[in-house]
Chain A
Amino acid sequence: MKPKIAVHKFASCDGCQLAFLNAGEDLLTLAGMVDIIHFTEAGPIDEETEVDIAFVEGSITTPADCNRIQRIRKNSRYLLTIGACATAGGLQALRNFANAKEWVASVYAAPEYIQSLATSTPIREHVKVDLELWGCPVSAKQVLRAVHDLLFGVTPKVELDKVCMECKRQRHVCVMVSKNIPCMGPVTRTGCGAICPQVGRGCYACFGPAENSNTGAMGVWLQGLGLMPEAIAKRFLFINSEAPEFRAAGTQWKSK
């Protein structure tokens, strides 16, 4: 019997699910290796059958989400988060630093019909997560490597190094040194392929904090480049604001 997989969606833009749909030929190979039980965006819908690997995209933002993630956990042997929302709250977690109720009231004509939580939280705050794949969005390579490793019974390999390592391997010129562009590469996990420095832009920290990230020195240097404390806070409190390292650094700069 082939292993079963499911791809679940919570509050998110669906971009991480595209890591599967954009996988090209590998998607066909994968379809031959596993049974895809639940993957709404691709067709199959069945949330209740037990699966070997559940991929979870999106963050928890509604009371219904809270219950659904518990059911998914119960039905899954391995639960993997894919992307910034599921792993660190996503962009929508910016509500955690504001008055969510006021926001809802300012957007919707009849806010009483909106049932959303005051916070957007990562999956690990609700259930045990076996592996977290960072990125906004994750890449097909990342997801397929995790599937491969789990199916072959080896500990999945995750990137820990900073974006700078990959940036220099690709021989890009450091945008911070040559152009004074604020770049989050030195505190951000690699995995994207250093795509922003490649086109002369600073890293946006889409892949969350790298191991041993010196967010303190990073913030001080950004200030030296001319960023105001509020702007520095926004660098940390952006896509991965619920990553503990970024949350701590961002909150600190916000209060300055």
Chain B
Amino acid sequence: MSHSFYYMARDQLQALINELRARGYQCIGPQVRDGAIVYDSLADCTQLPRGISEHQSPGRYVLSENNSQRYFSWANGPQAIKPYVFAPRESLWRCEKDNTGQLRFTDLKPAPGPVAIIGVRACDLAALYIQDKHFLQEEKKDPYYLARRQKLFLVAVNCTHAADTCFCASTGDGPRASYGYDIVLSELDDGFLAHGLSDKGLELIKQLSTSPPTETQLQQADEEIQHAARRQTRRLPSRNLKQALFNNLEHPRWEEVAKRCLACGNCTSVCPTCFCHAEDEEPALDGSGSEYFRQWDSCFTQGHSYIHGITIRSTTAQRYRQWLTHKLGSWHDQYGRSGCVGCGRCITWCPVGIDITEEAAAICGENIDA
């Protein structure tokens, strides 16, 4: 492994951004906004959250300064890759009536330029893999998702800091980024270890000022990732919980969690694997045309289970059960793995702090580890 790592000083991150921008990439990266670390356009390293840590607990996210020179000494924010491939809202097509009364349809498929996202985490990459499986199934690839996905260049960063809500070590999705990226960085006190996975990634690293890493640097990077794994206290098994959950469809816990749950959909919106959307149209007032769009939906909304006059899941207990049994159970049938990557966002960003690991354990009982 060691031969494929390159050491680069901290200033080379700006050089990497410059190289990407010179190649026409719009760079997206983490930065502090509104009390959280969010992803937005990035031109300069000074925008990065240098010396910032975040503390996460159920229903709580707080930033603090840590006096470090590091850019990535935090675990995650409310979103990462998902909005850049699966748009929160996008128009799909437009229909207009011309002078002769004929209808004309226009495809509104996006034609994005190349986008490089810097600072994505192992959990985000695992989630992207799942979203790819959903949106890019053979024979029915989603053209809107595909257009953006094809233009993506990903610079991952290995996690050295786990939030209290993180449990990627138990799902097997982190904290080390092991696939799906172009370049991965391990941040050290004075710079980075960089590894290129794709040809594009390798070629870019070669443009930077690098040197072979020392054995100590490699060990330290490795130790910090292991530390991030050891620090995690929550856990959720990655194995198929379908039977354990489906055997407990009448468990009293569903009603109990429904008493606390606001059914607001924040968990599904911040979940990097949730892909549900609703489609609707926006007609012109005079009926001359109509624009058809889709937007993020959630199994916690009424519309999600509304079918011709009937709402299948009218109660929060049914909606929460739908979410959990799908995410951790029937997801395996569809995508060959669990729908949870252990990022813990649904725990942190639930306004009332409902913890998926706690609920799953309560419902599956001792079967959770079976």
Contact = CB atoms under 8 A, between A and B. Distances in A.
Contacts, number: 120
B38 A148 contact: no
Contacts of A145: 283
Given A168-B270, A212-B315, A214-B259, 10 more contacts: A165-B264, A171-B79, A174-B351, A178-B34, A178-B61, A179-B35, A214-B258, A217-B259, A221-B351, A221-B352
Interface stretch (A49-57, A79-87, A131-139, A156-164): A156-164
A148 B301 contact: no
Contact of A161 (B62, B89, B301): B301
Contact of B287 (A148, A161, A176): A148
A148 to B, nearest CB: 5
Nearest to B33: A173
Interface string A167-188: 0111111111111100101110
Contacts of B38: 171, 173
A168 B274 CA distance: 13
Contacts of B316: 212, 214
B60 interface: yes
Nearest to A181: B35
Interface in A204-244: 211-214, 216-218, 221
Contacts of A185: 264
A173 B285 contact: no
Contact of A160 (B61, B280, B303): B303
Contacts of A148: 283, 285, 287
A164 B35 contact: no
Given A177-B348, A178-B62, A186-B264, A164 B269 contact: yes
Given A160-B301, A165-B296, A171-B38, A176 B286 contact: no
A46 interface: no
B172 interface: no
A173 B302 contact: no
A187 B316 CA distance: 13
Contacts of A180: 60
A216 B36 CA distance: 28
B210 interface: no
Interface residues on A, range: 35 or more
Contacts of B143: none
B265 interface: yes
Contact of B78 (A32, A33, A169, A173): A173
B313 to A, nearest CB: 10
Given A168-B269, A217-B260, A178 B303 contact: no
Nearest to B62: A178
Given A26-B285, A165-B269, A168-B88, A174 B78 contact: yes
Contacts of A106: none
A147 interface: yes
Interface string B259-299: 11111111001100000000010010111000000011110
Contacts of B314: 212
Contacts of A186: 262, 264, 266, 351-352
A198 B321 CA distance: 31
A217 B259 CA distance: 7
Nearest to A216: B259
A162 B352 CA distance: 15
10 contacts: A26-B285, A148-B287, A161-B303, A162-B262, A164-B269, A168-B266, A169-B89, A169-B269, A173-B78, A179-B34
B349 A177 contact: yes
Nearest to A185: B264
